[in-house]
């Protein structure tokens, strides 16, 4: 007597033997089913064997193929090695992740800076990358490679709901050796770099950036690579480690990437066109949150709350896709836009407008320098200047806190007003670096909000400006510690520099403010 069965997970006796592709049929002494019965009733037996073998073919061939292995198999084609030229034949190695199938790669800014270089993909020859946009102060950059066909991608996830202890994978190019994966957990959802927890407990309103702490192995060359959760989504960009401590590695949270990506890419400012659409960077879909009046989108009927579905024949999955698909577009170009309004899907033709430029003002009747107003008080954040009275006012040649504040070291605020002279129409990066709170307004629009308290911290924004004078206002709050305020400009032939006195003007002539 024999029992017929199928082993769906057979043991492989020899490590050198490949795992079988289907289950193993076995016979063993058991119940009353004789060889005579096998010959007498072939149809049920054959049917039993067919069903058993079909089921075994569907099952995983080996217990070695764990969820982690499957996750790596899915992500590996979208993780890239990045090599940038440092001059004199030297290369700097780092990592990146493809976030869009057309070849857009997210990496850390210190991996590429403004240097040319190559990207190495799995089983492909090296290919040159080009810079799309960068944010040195946030250590983020987007580069692009040309792709003859769609590439594998890693979707950019969210970091707001991270759990301490949840499993993660870190991927990258340590030592320039190619793509390597390591596993671990989220050790902390948000940590401050180089700060003592007891000291920081005294600063409830602190606004400085936090980072994801993880314990997976990470070494020089991993920077710029993705930190992946168990769903295969990128929840962070690897950016550094504590060399003095074991298993202390850091990643920039995905939500910070999402918030800054529109300014990093700045497709409309750089391309000189406008859609009139503003999307929610954190939403799971490309959700419209604002539509500019009399814009291309307004004329096409797009409204806040609508969801963008397709642009120029390509899917728009979220705000990341939206901004990347805008790269390279031109003014007056007509494209097809498909969006969802309530339960209705609409298809419209969108003609891209010229980018709206704020008009410059005349230089006549204005003097070199800035007007300032000084306020004193024990501030914990930027005060409401309309509700307090200044203690002193006057003129100064540049944005400089301690020069105006004199003997005051803490507990004061400043407002600088005037005009910045733009040498020619084009694209510029304006930035503010301050040790506590700072804000920059251009044409009365809040462009940079760097409110404190925090140590020296930079923030930038890409703008498109016409030649001439433009109204500028900078607010600064010194709460405690160092007094640092720098307002700088870069672009259209200008290397990064503190805005010089020659570019600053104020109302009034002959020293009158």
393's CB contacts (< 8 A; 6+ apart) are: 371, 372, 373, 374, 513
Edge-to-edge strands, sheet with 494-498? 457-465, 426-434, 485-491, 494-498
d(CA 71, CA 32): 46
Return d(Cα 231, Cα 169) in angstroms, integer. 11
Straight-line distance from the first to the last Cα atom of the chain, in angstroms, rounded to the nearest whole number: 109
Query: How big is the chain, counted in residues?
Result: 513
**Alpha carbon distance 71, 183 (integer Å):** 11
Which positions are annotated as active-site residues? 110, 139, 223
With H, G, I as helix, E, B as strand and everything else as coil, classify residue 170. Answer: strand
Neighbours of 30 (CB within 10 A): 11
Q: How many whole angstroms separate alpha carbon 129 and alpha carbon 101?
A: 15
Distance (Å, whole) CA 404 – CA 396: 8
Q: Burial code of 205-215, b = ≥16 C-beta within 10 A, e = fewer?
A: eeeeebbbbbb
Give the DSSP letter of residue 264: H
Cα separation of 125 and 375, whole Å?
61
């Amino acid at each position: 007597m024999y029992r017929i069965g199928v082993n769906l997970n057979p043991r492989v006796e020899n490590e050198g033997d490949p795992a079988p592709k289907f289950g193993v049929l076995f016979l063993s002494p058991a119940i009353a089913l004789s060889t005579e019965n096998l010959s007498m009733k072939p149809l049920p037996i054959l049917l039993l064997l067919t069903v058993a073998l079909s089921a075994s073919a569907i099952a995983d061939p080996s217990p070695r193929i764990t969820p982690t292995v499957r996750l790596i198999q899915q992500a590996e084609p979208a993780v890239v090695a990045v090599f940038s030229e440092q001059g004199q034949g030297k290369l700097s190695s780092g990592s990146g992740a493809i976030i869009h199938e057309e070849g857009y790669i997210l990496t850390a800014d210190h991996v590429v800076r403004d240097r040319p270089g190559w990207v190495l993909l799995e089983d492909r020859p090296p290919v040159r990358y080009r810079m799309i946009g960068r944010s040195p102060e946030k250590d983020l950059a987007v580069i692009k490679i040309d792709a003859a066909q769609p590439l594998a991608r890693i979707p950019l996830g969210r970091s707001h709901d991270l759990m301490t202890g949840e499993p993660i994978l870190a991927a990258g190019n340590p030592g320039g050796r190619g793509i390597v994966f390591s596993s671990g957990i989220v050790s902390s959802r948000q940590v401050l770099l180089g700060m003592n927890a007891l000291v920081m407990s005294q600063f409830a309103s602190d606004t400085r950036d936090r980072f994801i702490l993880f314990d997976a192995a990470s070494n020089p060359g991993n920077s710029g690579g993705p930190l992946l959760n168990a769903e295969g989504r990128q929840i962070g960009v690897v950016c550094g480690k504590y060399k003095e401590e074991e298993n202390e590695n850091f990643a920039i949270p995905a939500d910070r990437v999402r918030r800054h990506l529109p300014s990093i890419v700045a497709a409309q400012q750089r391309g000189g066109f406008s859609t009139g659409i503003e999307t929610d960077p954190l939403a799971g879909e490309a959700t419209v949150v604002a539509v500019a009046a009399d814009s291309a989108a307004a004329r096409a009927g797009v409204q806040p709350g609508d969801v963008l579905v397709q642009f120029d024949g390509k899917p728009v999955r979220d705000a990341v896709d939206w901004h990347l698909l805008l790269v390279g577009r031109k003014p007056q170009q007509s494209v097809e836009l498909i969006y969802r309004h309530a339960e209705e899907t609409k298809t419209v033709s969108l003609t891209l407008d010229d980018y709206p430029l704020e008009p410059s003002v005349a230089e006549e009747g204005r003097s070199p320098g800035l007007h300032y107003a000084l306020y004193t008080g024990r501030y914990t954040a930027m005060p409401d200047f309309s509700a307090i009275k200044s203690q002193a006012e006057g003129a100064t040649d540049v944005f400089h806190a301690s020069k105006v504040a004199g003997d005051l070291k803490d507990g004061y605020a400043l407002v600088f007003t005037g005009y910045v002279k733009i040498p020619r129409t084009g694209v510029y990066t304006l930035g503010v670096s301050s040790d506590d709170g700072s804000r920059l307004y251009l044409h009365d629009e809040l462009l940079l909000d760097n409110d404190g308290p925090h140590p020296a911290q930079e923030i930038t924004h890409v703008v498109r400006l016409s030649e001439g004078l433009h109204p500028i206002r900078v607010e600064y709050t010194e709460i405690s510690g160092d007094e640092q305020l720098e307002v700088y400009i870069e672009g259209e032939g200008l290397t990064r520099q503190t805005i010089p006195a020659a570019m600053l003007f104020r109302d009034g002539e002959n020293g009158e403010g």
